[in-house]
Amino acid sequence: MDKLSAALARNPGLPRFLCHLHQRLRQQRLNLVTGAGISVDAGVPAWKELLRRLAEIDAQLPADLAVHENAGLQPEYLGQIIYHRFNRACQVKEPADQRQAQVEYDWGGAIHQAIYKDVPETMCEVLSNHPYLEQLRDLARRVPLVINFNFDDLLAEAIGVQIAKGGLAGGALNALSVTWQPPLTDRRELTTVYHVNGILPRVSLKKRSPKLIFTEDSFADARARSPGVNAEYLFLRFVQNTMLLIGHSLGDSSLKNYLRQNRDKSPANHHYMVHWIDSADQYPKARREDIFEANLELYNLITIFLASEEISAFLETLILEERRFTDLVEALDPDRRATFHYYIVGPVAAGKSTLLEQLRCFETLEEWTQPPPKEMYYASTKIGASEQAIIDSFLYQELKEKNRRMSSAQAGLHFMDRAPLDLYAFSKSDEENKKKTKELRDRVTRNKALQEGEIIFIEAEPRTLVKRNMARGRPPESAGSDEYFSEQIKALKEIYSPKFVLSTDEYNAGELARRVARHVLLGAYTPTNLNSIIKRYA
């Protein structure tokens, strides 16, 4: 906790971010996206330094490269220039196919030498000198996919060495697969390290990828192939999972493209990026806010500003078992909370189920845990005493089960379609409310009080609700009226007094979900005591 105290002051939302990431890890829906920053601390050069090392193949090239760089040429273009000089210097002339094979082999060798020149010889030395590679390795063995933008395989090597030694091999950690092609299927209990730009293993005899996406030409080829399997595979992973970016500066155009596509296709799904800082003075509050807000609006990306030792503590916290994680986060959070409960409330046809479907990037609980009896769908005029008994039996059993599930929820953010006290909004008299209160106490809350939670209230204009109800198959005579829905909205608001209210007339499903997601990730948590509401209706 001490290591994260300064980080908490810099990132007030850190406890909730940790809770969401831990939840996604538990669901096997957390992936890692690693960049050059994770290798710099191991002695691998950053992009510009790598180019300078490669430029040493030609006596005049370093000076020419500096001129080109000052002229504003991008690193990929500079890589193209270096490659052409390298190509021209190749001694093999004929045949053409053999010459090209020799060029590619030597080019890969030159890059390999430039990358690993200052890297310690053993993985033990690499881990001892690196501030957080050990913790990153342990997290990587708990996720199904690591998307690695680097040529070096230091992370994969660290995992492989641990597996070979039998370290932490209690069966809970994944095996390893390293590839430069998108896997066709996800495999259980396996961490796939996918090198999207190609791979040059540190051990020279290990198989390297046929191509390295390094030059302007290779980047152009990769972009031209973007509609293929590679792009589709990555797009689906960004939409269906939560990504934790480490070691990235958002300089890669393909990465930004995937983040942007996720923002547009899955508006509630937010990813996280660890933004490395050398010192707090380097990024004062105003500068941090600029970066945070820009990344959030452009990419649905939540930025966490951490120094190296804080990254180590952050990763170490994520992989704690549930009890220790909860204890640490509750000690870190000013509200002493690691579990957040939300009830989606609103009139019939407001869009509650649609919203819940958009919020699958959290834990969600449907309106019913099992199929309702057919009597639930009868018009109110056709429900007699026997039908009502069947409905009541089902309803109170469901309320009890849903409350049990919400009360036993683990660390993270949890959403339920409908709140347990919606039934009061359909009462016709005070006597009916008293009867419902007695049934709630006898059948639902006798042994376990209702779980408190924040009310997410969504509504729409009554005439809109009438039309939606008819579109769902309700005949006109039972689709309700403007007055009926006005009264229902009023009754629900009187019950819950919601503080967070959104209209589905104003926002489409995606934008509504984005606003809800940002509220629960970044806003204040204001739970409602449902048990005190029951007392009002006694």
Q: List helix spans (H) across 266-374.
A: 285-299, 308-318, 322-332, 352-358
Residue 208: pLDDT over 70 = yes
347 with 223, same domain: the answer is no
The number of CA neighbours under 13 Å toward the Cβ of 37 is 23
pLDDT at 229: 54
pLDDT in tens, 292-307: 999 999 999 999 999 9
Residue 100's pLDDT is 84
CB 416 within 8 A of CB 450: no
d(CA 288, CA 189): 38
pLDDT over 70 at 478, yes or no: no
Q: Which of 332, 349, 374 is the last residue of a domain?
A: 332
- pLDDT tens across 513-529, in order? 999 999 999 999 999 99
For residues 25 and 34, give the distance between their C-alpha atoms in angstroms, rounded to a whole number.
16
Residue 131 has pLDDT above 70, yes or no: yes
Looking at the structure, do residues 51 and 40 belong to the same domain, yes or no?
no
Residue 69 banded pLDDT, cuts 50, 70, 90: confident
Report the pLDDT value the prediction gives residue 377, as an integer from 0 to 100: 80
Cα–chain-centroid distance for residue 532? 35
Q: Using CA atoms, how far apart are residues 345 and 360, in angstroms rounded to an integer?
A: 17
Look-up: residue for tokens 């376990």?
448
The verdict on 6 and 73 lying in the same domain is no
Shared domain for 349 and 444, answered yes or no, is: yes
For residues 325 and 423, state if they share a domain: no
The answer on 97 and 23 residing in a single domain is: no
Pair (360, 285) in one structural domain? no
pLDDT classification of 10: cutoffs 50, 70, 90: very high
Are the beta carbons of 38 and 133 closer than 8 angstroms? yes
pLDDT band, very low/low/confident/very high, at 215 (cuts 50, 70, 90): low
Torsion sign (Cα): 233, 235, 241, 243: positive
Q: Are residues 281 and 409 in the same domain?
A: no
pLDDT over 90 percentage in the chain = 70
Q: Domain check: are 212 and 141 in the same one?
A: yes
pLDDT score of 323: 97
CATH, residue 519: 3.40.50.300
Confidence grade of residue 225 (pLDDT, cut at 50, 70, 90): very low
pLDDT in tens, 327-386: 999 999 999 999 999 999 999 999 999 999 999 999 999 999 999 998 888 777 778 889
Task: Give residue 168's pLDDT.
Answer: 53
CATH number of the domain bearing residue 231:
3.40.50.1220
End position of a domain, from candidates 332, 363, 387: 332
Residue 252, pLDDT score: 83
Q: What tens digit of pLDDT does each residue of 240-275 get?
A: 999 999 999 898 888 999 999 999 999 999 999 999
Mean pLDDT of 489-503: 97
Query: Is residue 362 domain-shared with residue 313, that is, in the same domain?
Result: no
Q: How large is the average pLDDT for residues 316-329?
A: 97
Sheet order of strands, 500-503 included: 363-365, 412-417, 339-345, 454-459, 500-503
What is the structure's pLDDT at 231? 78
Whether 435 shows a pLDDT value over 50: the answer reads yes
Residue 198: DSSP 8-state:
-
- Identify residue 455 by its one-letter amino acid code: I
Terminal Cα-to-Cα distance of the chain (whole angstroms): 45
Identify the band that residue 135 occupies on the pLDDT scale cut at 50, 70 and 90.
very high
Residues 470, 386 share a domain:
yes
Domain range for 264: 2-44+119-332
Mean pLDDT of 142-162: 95
Instruction: Tell me: pLDDT of 108 over 80.
Output: yes
Three-state SS string over 69-134 comes to HHCCCCHHHHHHHHHHHHHHHCCCCCCHHHHHHHHHHHHHHHHHHHHHCCCCCCHHHHHHHCCCHH
Neighbours of 63 (CB within 10 A): 11
Counted domains in the chain? 3
Instruction: Please determine, for residue 93, whether its predicted confidence score (pLDDT) is greater than 90.
Output: no
Can you give the pLDDT at residue 167? 57
Mean pLDDT for 403-424 is 97
In this structure, the answer to whether residues 511 and 381 fall within a common structural domain is yes
Domain-ending residue, one of 310, 332, 354: 332
